[in-house]
Chain A
C-alpha cells in the first residue's frame, strides 16, 4: 500500500476506535440489566434424547432434547441457577442448539416448591450487530476518511427518515403509502447526494437524472402491469404483509431501485470529473461517450447487484418448497416471481439513467467544440 497511509492522525483514530469498540462490545455483552425480559447464561449443557423424524416427502431429520443448566443474569432471580429444557434438530430451522457461554432469553420464569423453572425463548444476538456496526465504522473511517464519515452519516440519516416515514404510514393505515414513499424517495435522493457530493451543479445533475430515471421506470412498469393485466404477479406470496400488498410492493420496488440508480448516476459523473481534472480541455462529445462507456459497463453488474439482493432472500423459502414436494415452476411462482419483477423494474430504471446522466454531465462539464 502507498506510503504515508499511516499518518499520525490515523494512528490515533485507530487507537481511539479500538478502545471505544472494546468498550461498546463489553457493554453489549453485559447489558442484561437493561432488558425487561429475563436473560440467562448457559453454564453447562447435556444432550439427552435423540429421535429420528421422517415426513411424507421422505425428508429425514433428527431431533434432540437438550438439558441446559443456566444462571439468571438479570431480574429478581439474578445469580440463581436453574435447569431448562430445549429441543433442537439437525437442520435447525426454528430451533437452536445452545452451547456453554451463550446468553439466552427466557419466558415464564416461575418458582414452584422453591425450585425455579422457565422456558427458553431465544438467543441474544445484539452483540453480533454491534460488532459488525463497529467493524464497518472502523473500516469506513480508516480507509475512506472524510468521505467515509459522510457516507456513514448519510446512511444513519436515511435510516432515521425511513423509520419516521413508516410511523407516518402507520398513522394513516397505509392509505397513501405510494405518495408518502415517493416524496420520501425524492428527499432521500437529495439528502444522500448532498452529503456525498456537496451542494453543487454536479449534485443537481445527479439528482435530476436519478429522480427522472427512477420515476420514468416506475411509470413504464405500471403501464406494462396494466397491459399484461398483472398476470403472474402473486401478491399473496409477499412476506410479512400487514397492509394492502400492491402499493406496498410498488413502494418497496421504488426504494429498492433508488439507491442503484443514484449509484450509477454518481459513478458516471465521478468518472467524468476525474477525466475533466486530468484534461480540462475535454469536449462534450468525448465526455458523453466516456459517460456512456462507463454506464454501459456498470449497468449490467448493477442490475445484477439488485437482482442478487432481491432474489437471494427467497433462497431458503424456495428450498423449503422444493423439499415439500412442490414442482420447480410452482416454487418459482410462489417465492421468486415478485423478486424477479422488482429486479426487472430496477433494471429498467438503471438502463434509462445511462443516457440521461451522460447527457447532463457532458453539458455541464464539456467545452462545446461546434465550429
Chain B
C-alpha cells in the first residue's frame, strides 16, 4: 500500500464517521475534483483553448464542491448562484491582472527542474496562468459562499420573519466573523506551500526590490490577493442572493418541518 492510499483510507474513514453519508459524498467530491483538475491539464495539453477549459472545469468544480459538500438545497443553490456571479467578476479581474503582470510560465528559480525539458510547447503560458489563478481561488469562493448561505439558512429556519435588511445585516455579521479566519486559511495555505521558496529567497539574500519583481513571488502574491478579493466579494453577494431566494428557502423549511 502506498502512503497516498493509506492516508486516503484514513481520511475516508474519518469523514464517514464524522459526517455519515455527507462525509462520504465530501470524500467523493475530493476525488471528482482531482479527476476534473487532471482532465483540465489533459485538455489544455491537447490544445483546447485554456479560457474554455477554465470556464467549464471551473463551473464543474464549483458545482461538485458545493452540491456534494452539503445536502441542504436551500444553502447550496444560493451558494452556487452567488459563486457563479463571483467567478464571472473575478475572471475579468484576473484576465486584466495577468496581462499586466506577465507572470506566466517559469522563473529563473525553476531552471534546475526544467533541465532537459523542452519548454517551447506552443501553448500560451499566459492563458494557462489565468486558468491556474482562477482554479486555485474557486475553493475559497465556494467555501465562503457556503459558510454565509448555511448560516443564513439556519437563521431563516429559526426566524422566517426577518426582513431583507436584517438578513443582509446578519450575512455581513457572519462575514465579519469568518473573514479573519478565512484570510488565515488562504494565507497559510499559500505560504505553507511556499515555505521552501522563501527559505531560498532569504537564504540567498534577495533584496526587497528583487523579491517584489520576482516572477514566481509576484505570481504567488497575485493568487493570494485575488483569493482575498474573491472572498470579499462573495460575502455581500451571497447575502444578496439569499434575499432574492428567501421565499423558496422559507417554503422549503416549512415542508421539511
Contacts and interface: CB of A to CB of B under 8 A. Distances in A.
B97 interface: yes
Given A301-B142, A319-B41, A351-B11, A294 B102 contact: no
Contacts of A140: 179, 228, 232
Contact of B184 (A192, A220, A297, A352): A192
Q: At the interface, is chain A mostly helix, strand, loop or mixed? A: helix
A210 to B, nearest CB: 10
A316 B125 contact: yes
A192 B167 CA distance: 28
Interface residues of B, number: 134
Contact of B146 (A135, A147, A257, A298): A298
Given A60-B122, A93-B104, A259-B181, A345 B228 contact: no
Contacts of B131: 315
Contacts of A192: 180-181, 184
A14 to B, nearest CB: 15
Contact of B232 (A144, A196, A298, A343): A144
Interface stretch (A41-49, A238-246, A361-369): A238-246
Contact of A313 (B72, B136, B183, B213): B136
Contact of B103 (A91, A125, A252, A328): A125
Interface stretch (A77-85, A109-117, A162-170): A162-170
A24 interface: no
A145 to B, nearest CB: 7
Q: At the interface, is chain B mostly helix, strand, loop or mixed? A: helix
B246 interface: no
A301 B101 contact: no
B86 to A, nearest CB: 13
Interface string A270-312: 1101110011000000000010101111111111111111111
B248 to A, nearest CB: 19
Interface size class of A (residues with CB under 8 A): 35 or more
A1 B175 CA distance: 15
Given A128-B222, A129-B218, A300-B25, A316 B105 contact: yes
Interface stretch (A15-23, A65-73, A260-268): A260-268
Interface string B68-106: 111010010000000000000000000001001111111
Interface string B148-160: 0011001100110
Nearest to A103: B213
Contacts of B138: 308
B194 to A, nearest CB: 8
A125 B216 CA distance: 11
Nearest to A245: B196
Interface string B188-232: 111111011111101100010100110100100110011011001
B241 interface: no
B120 A344 contact: no
Interface string B110-143: 1001100111111111101101100111111011
Given A93-B125, A151-B179, A298-B147, A348 B14 contact: yes
Nearest to B147: A267
B249 interface: no
A158 B191 CA distance: 10
A155 B75 contact: no
A197 B126 CA distance: 40
Contacts of A89: 120
B136 A312 contact: yes
Contacts of B129: 316
24 contacts: A56-B118, A132-B97, A133-B225, A136-B232, A140-B232, A151-B180, A174-B199, A193-B181, A196-B184, A232-B3, A258-B188, A259-B181, A263-B185, A270-B178, A296-B70, A300-B19, A300-B26, A302-B185, A304-B33, A304-B65, A310-B189, A342-B192, A351-B11, A351-B23
